[in-house]
Structure 1
Amino acid sequence: SVSLGQSAFAGSDASIAIGQNASAAGLDGPGPTTAIAIGMNASAGDAGLAVGESASATMDGVALGQNSSAGIGSLAVGNGATTDIAVLGATAIGPNAQANADNSVALGAGSIATEANTVSVGSVGSERRIVNVGTAINGTDAANKAYVDGQITAVSSNVATIEATLEYFDVNSSMGPATANGAESIAIGPEANALGSRSVAMGADGNNNGGTEGAEAFGDDSIALGTDTRANDAFGIALGAYSQSSGSAAIAVGALSEATAASATAIGLEAQADGVTSNAIGYRAIATGKGAIAFGGDSDPADAFADSNAIGSQASGEYALALGVDTNASGTRSTALAIGASASGIESTVIGFLASATGTEGLALGRRTEATVFRSTAIGSSAKATGVNSMSIGRGSIASATNATAIGEVAQATNIAAVAVGSNAQSGGEGSTAVGRSAVVTRSQSTAVGFQANVTHAVSTAIGANATTTRDEQVMIGGAGSSVAIGDIDASTAAQVGPVDVVTVDAKGTLGRGAAASAASVDRMSLAFQGTMLAHEADLAALDQRVAFLEGELDGIDGGIAAAAALAPIVALPDQPLVLNIGAASHGGQQGVAGTIGGRLSNRIGLGAGVAANTGDGKVTAKVGVSIGL
């Protein structure tokens, strides 16, 4: 079909509408059924020809001229020429000529033919004579053949002109006609069928086997557009070859698309929406659950992540949401977002490439994450949570037991209620805790805190870098080469109540306690020491000299401490590349002053330096440091 001009409409396969508001609403069927309308507001019915402004031709009619009108099988030539729409085979030639009876002919301007099978060359009060009529050939001849031939030649010339214009257009169909049985319905196309009231069916029978129809609109107010489309229920829409809508207000748009439930919507090639109020959008997208949404197509088999089926995004759970190529949300109220994401657990949520959540209320967030059981949570690339109520956070982290928690890159919590926090931290005992990079706990109810802290004994604790337990029910503080300090021992002493004991330490660092000495034993010890001291007065005099020397050294030490304390740490200020700090301190009666300067070499590297002086020994202290962000 061809439509040229504003609001021009060509209804059938081979119809032509040329001109503003021109309408060629021909119906395809056997034989030449082309409708042609040329001119502003021209209108042509099935196999009709209308040429001229506001020209109108119904089925098999020809109307040539402004405001001309031709009824069924009739001919109207001339501005204002008309044939009654209710008569057959009438001919009106000439401006304002009228042929209003079956097979009547009106020739000449203003001529009117009102009786069947008659020819009129005038009207009442405007009669004409037929003059110079040649010899008739037949007894019933009334007109000169030359005149008639001239008229035929003129019409033929016009038809030839039109045919030359349309020589590149054709209609080829051997199928049956369209049928519009519904009230106010429209059917266009070979074997198209509009059965519902106010329905529209437009499209041919793609099978051409005589056993099926073309486009079919069965529901009231339904629309079927395209080869073998079906709109089966009220307000349904099927748009695209072989598309089908079943269910009130169901919509199927796209070749081979299907919307099979009330208010379901399927958009895209082979898209399928089977759940009530479901939506499937994309190539081979499928939404089968009530209120489900599937948005995304099927992967290309050449893609590295392509699956083995020919299905796009799927949302089969009620109120499920699947968004992305090859996504699958099969759990009730589940959500799957990103390529290949799969949420099969009830109320599960999956966000990430090829991530999956199979457990109820599971959460998988990140590339290839897995949350496989009830209320499991996996966050981070390749993180896995396979225990009930377990949680894994960090790339490659694993929480594989009930209530287990793994936080950090490749952290692992593999026993009930185990906790692993830190890069490569591992907690394998029931109720155990490993905190720190590469911290490891292998026994139950044990704790390791610190870099490479290691607990291999039950009910034991290791605290500090490289701290390692040596037996069950042990607390190990610090690793080899580490010192142990306890803050504010004076306050702790002041808080003691009642008898006190002394603390003992064996060669392996194990703490113990013993009874403190009584006042009487202390007095006896004092008398013994006095005797000893009298015997060593000479030694004490020599010692006094050495103490005096040491006191001088202590002043220097106090001064050094004051200088070190004055070296204040560099405090970074927003948007300041360099920072200068001035500090002062006092210790042991000695004073120290210092200045430090620091700056950023990059977003992750800082450099600082400082100098300090003291009143103890007058020496200068200097420092330099580098800060590196990890």
Structure 2
Amino acid sequence: MGFANQAVGNNSTAVGFANFAQTDDSSAMGFANQALGARSTAMGFVNQANAANATAVGMQNSANALNATAMGMQNNYDPSTNTYFTPGQRSTAVGFQNQAQGDDSTAMGRSNTAQLRGTAVGFQNQAQGDDSTAVGSANQAQGNDSTAMGRSNTAQLRGTAVGFQNQAQGDDSTAVGSANQAQGNDSTAVGSANQAQGNDSTAMGRSNTAQLRGTAVGFQNQAQGDDSTAVGSNNQAIGARSIAIGRASLANADDSTAIGQNAQVTASNSVAIGAGSVATAPNVVSVGAPGQERKIVNVAPGIIAPTSTDAINGSQLSALINQLFATGICSITGATVTCGNIALGNGATPVGGGAIAIGNNAATNANNAIALGPSSQALHPNSVAIGAGSVTTAPNTVSVGAPGAERRITNVATPILPTDAVNKAYVDGIGAVALGAANAYTDAQINQLRGEAFAGIASAAALLPVVPARSGETTFNIGFGSYGGYSAVGMAMAHQAGPVVIDAGASFSSAGSPLVRLGLGFRF
């Protein structure tokens, strides 16, 4: 029917203008349609159904593969080259300019592309991987068995990206929400602007980041360490296997845990619990910070045994103290302990007001006396006996031994105050200074005496003997003497008056000490 139509096959139909129904049971209806395959149908404008059981309906559609369906406009067709593509067998392309290229694929909407067993529905979606699904707008399901749904999402092998601009880049990864990146294999990013960068990582909420096997949940948390967890807001779990929960908490070391606002742990295997709590040493649990300490309440009774590591509570400690203080020497009220005399040890006997005896058979016998050590004895007021068998001998003293059993006191610091104890090094130093001063003084005195002696010898040598020649005459002479580096000058005179001789002289040495001589003689 119509004009220039050809219905060649048995039971074939060609209706319209220039349609061609070539094979049995085929139908070509409209304008310039081709139904070349058995039981094929081409209806509309310039459609091609050139394979068995193919259906092309609309305008410029190509269903040129077994059991293929193309409905709409320019499906499996390139208008720029006027080329009809061969779609996949059993494929379906419905809408405008879709390409169902793979077998058993489906492309529906506008400008979608689907590969083997893929499904692309919406606008400009690409189901590139085998068995992949892309639904929405501008999504790319690139990997096999991947799913990208929403707008501008990308999914790799077995990945799932749902929402807006999500990227499921790792194998078996999931990105759901807006602008999330699941980069690691088996990673999950859910919410907004999260990054699950490491394998097996999870980032949920907004602007969270998680590394290898890490978990970051909330707002701007960072699970940077392997196997780390950051939950809340602005928390950082930096160490491996670390945990940071709360707000702005920091777990900076391996196996560390920080729970609470601004809680910080900087040493390995430590825990900080509570707002502002700080743990800076390894293997500790902190519930506060310097100046911000906390009580721990509702603690169950711990096991008290030689090998127990349980914590004990206040009631257990109270019972222990009451047992220790059962003698009435001490009493406890709240956090206050009041004691009179104190005795600890078998046979310890504190006698005297405010006395303390600690050690088996330790004893005191005066007010404010203290005996520390087995069989120690502080027998005088305000005295102290320290060490086994030590005995005091006077009030206001400290004894570290007994007659015949003395002890050294070691590790004594250099004294500062006038009443400080001194050590051997200090005494040796004082002795060395004193000995040096004494030696210097003795040497000076000896040198002085030696000089005076040498000067005296020089002075004596300078006094020459004078003998007058005759009665009534006077003899005068000058002499010089030197000895041991000292020199002297001497003057002497003699006068004879009859039988009487008067002799006088004086000498002066370089030492400055004069030597005087005066004599009287008789001649007969």
TM-score by length of 1: 0.47
Q: 1:386 — aligned with what?
A: 197
How does 1:62-141 map onto structure 2 within 5 Å? none
Change (3 A) 1:201 1:445: same
Paired residue for 1:217, among 25, 35, 43? 35
Query: Which residue in the other structure is 2:149 paired with?
Result: 337
| CA drift at 1:473 | 4.8
Secondary structure of the equivalent of 2:102? coil
CA distance in 1, matches of 2:5, 2:308: 110
Q: Which SS does the other structure have where 2:161 is aligned?
A: strand
- Which amino acid in structure 2 is aligned with residue 524 of structure 1? T
Give the Cα separation in 2 of the matches to 1:447 and 1:353: 35
| C-alpha contact (below 8 Å) 1:282/1:313 kept by paired residues | no
Q: Which amino acid aligns with 1:497?
A: A
Kindly tell me: are residues 229 and 475 of structure 1, through their superposed partners in 2, closer, same or farther at Cα, counting changes over 3 Å? Answer: same
For 2:272, what is the secondary structure of its paired residue? strand
1:524 corresponds to which residue?
349
SS in structure 2 of the partner of residue 352 of structure 1: strand
Alignment of 1:186-585 (within 5 A): 186-204=13-31, 214-258=32-76, 260-290=87-117, 292-297=118-123, 312-344=124-156, 346-399=157-210, 401-487=211-297, 491-492=301-302, 495-498=303-306, 519-520=344-345, 523-525=348-350, 528-529=353-354
Instruction: Provide the aligned C-alpha RMSD in A.
Output: 3.0
Q: Which runs of 5+ in 2 are unaligned?
A: 77-85, 312-323, 325-341, 357-363, 368-524
Deviation at 1:518, TM superposition (A): 7.7
One-letter code aligned to 2:65: G
For 1:327, the aligned partner's letter is N
Q: Secondary structure at the match of 2:206?
A: coil
Percent identity between the aligned chains?
31
Distance 1:487 1:525, change over 3 A: farther
Compared CA separation, residues 526 and 410, structure 1 to 2 (3 A): farther
In 2 relative to 1, CA 523–374 (structure 1 residues): closer, same or farther, beyond 3 Å? same
- SS of the residue corresponding to residue 254 of structure 1 reads strand
SS of residue in 2 equivalent to 1:408: strand
Check the 8 A contact 1:254/1:271 in 2, yes or no.
Answer: no
What secondary structure, in the 3-state scheme, does the structure 1 residue paired with 2:73 have?
A: coil
Is 2:6 the counterpart of 1:179?
yes
How much does 1:181 deviate? Answer: 1.3
| Equivalent residue, structure 1, for 2:415 | none
Equivalents in 1 of 2:33, 2:122: separation in Å?
A: 28
Shift of 1:326: 1.1
500 and 336 in structure 1: CA distance in 2 versus 1, 3 angstrom threshold: closer
Residue 456 (structure 1) shift:
2.8
The 1:530–1:471 alpha-carbon spacing in structure 2 relative to 1, beyond 3 Å, is closer
Q: Name which one, 1 or 2, has greater alpha-carbon Rg.
A: 2
Paired amino acid for 1:323: V
Letter in 2 for 1:314: Q
Contact 1:408/1:425 (8 A) holds in 2: no
Query: How far apart, CA to CA, are the structure 1 residues paired with 2:26 and 2:51?
Result: 10
Aligned partner of 2:327 in structure 1 is: none
- Structure 1 residue identity aligned to 2:54: G
Does the Cα contact within 8 Å between 1:376 and 1:386 map onto a contact in 2? Answer: yes
Give the Cα–Cα distance (whole angstroms) in 2 for the partners of residues 440 and 288 of structure 1.
48
Q: 2:110 aligns to what SS in structure 1?
A: coil
* 3-state secondary structure, aligned to 2:278: coil
User: Using the alignment, how far apart are the partners of 1:240 and 1:433 within structure 2?
Assistant: 61
Shift of 1:483: 3.2
Asked if 1 retains the 8 angstrom alpha-carbon contact of 2:343 and 2:349, the reply is no
Q: Which runs of 5+ in 1 are unaligned?
A: 1-24, 29-176, 205-213, 298-311, 504-515, 536-630
Output the CA distance in 1 between the equivalents of 2:308 and 2:90.
83
Q: Distance in 2 between matches of 1:461 and 1:331?
A: 43
- The code of the aligned residue for 1:293 comes to T
Instruction: Find the aligned partners of 1:260 and 1:289 in 2 and give their Cα distance.
Output: 10
1:1-60 CA-partner distances (Å, limit 9, x unpaired): xxxxxxxxxxxxxxxxxxxxxxxx4x22xxxxxxxxxxxxxxxxxxxxxxxxxxxxxxxx
Q: 1:219 to 1:369 in 2, by over 3 A?
A: same
Q: Distance in 2 between matches of 1:490 and 1:372?
A: 46
Q: Which amino acid aligns with 1:200?
A: S
Distance 1:423 1:398 in 2: 12
Query: 1:376 deviation in Å?
Result: 0.6
The structure carrying a bigger strand percent of its residues is 2
TM-aligned CA deviation for residue 189 of structure 1: 3.6
Report matched runs for 1:25-64 at 5 Å: 25=1, 27-28=2-3
Encode CA deviations 1:177-216: one digit per residue, 9 max, x unaligned: 2222111212234432110112111233xxxxxxxxx211
CA offset digits 1:239-291 (Å, max 9, x no partner): 1221110222210001111271221110011011122221111011111122x
- Please say if residues 462 and 468 of structure 1, whose CA atoms lie closer than 8 Å, have aligned partners that are also in contact: yes
CA contact (8 A) 1:464 1:479 kept: no
Question: Contact 2:287 / 2:293 at 8 angstroms: preserved in 1?
Answer: no
2:250–2:264: 8 Å Cα contact kept in structure 1?
yes
Q: Deviations over 1:337-370 (max 9, x none)?
A: 21112212x2211211111101111011111111
Report if aligned partners of 1:418, 1:427 keep a CA contact under 8 Å in 2.
yes
Q: Quick one: which amino acid aligns to residue 461 of structure 1?
A: V
Task: Give the superposition deviation at 1:227.
Answer: 2.4
Amino acid at match of 1:328: Q
1:521 Cα deviation after fit: 7.0
Output the TM-score relative to the length of structure 2. 0.56
Distance in 1 separating the partners of 2:125 and 2:53: 26
After superposition, give the CA deviation of every residue in 1:283-304 in whole Å (9 maximum; x if it has no partner): 11111122x211111xxxxxxx
SS in 2 for 1:226: strand
Alpha-carbon distance, 1:436 to partner: 1.6
Distance 1:262 1:471 in 2: 69
Q: Separation in 2 of the partners of 1:459 and 1:321?
A: 46
- Whether contact under 8 Å (1:296, 1:327) holds in the other structure is no
Distance 1:522 1:362, change over 3 A: farther
CA contact (8 A) 1:466 1:480 kept: no
TM-superposed deviation, 1:482: 2.9
Render the CA deviation track for 1:524-562: whole Å, top value 9, x for unaligned: 347654899x99xxxxxxxxxxxxxxxxxxxxxxxxxxx
The count of corresponding residues between Structure 1 and Structure 2 is 321
Deviation at 1:488, TM superposition (A): 5.6
> Using a 3 Å threshold, how does the CA distance of structure 1 residues 496 and 474 change in structure 2: closer, same or farther?
closer
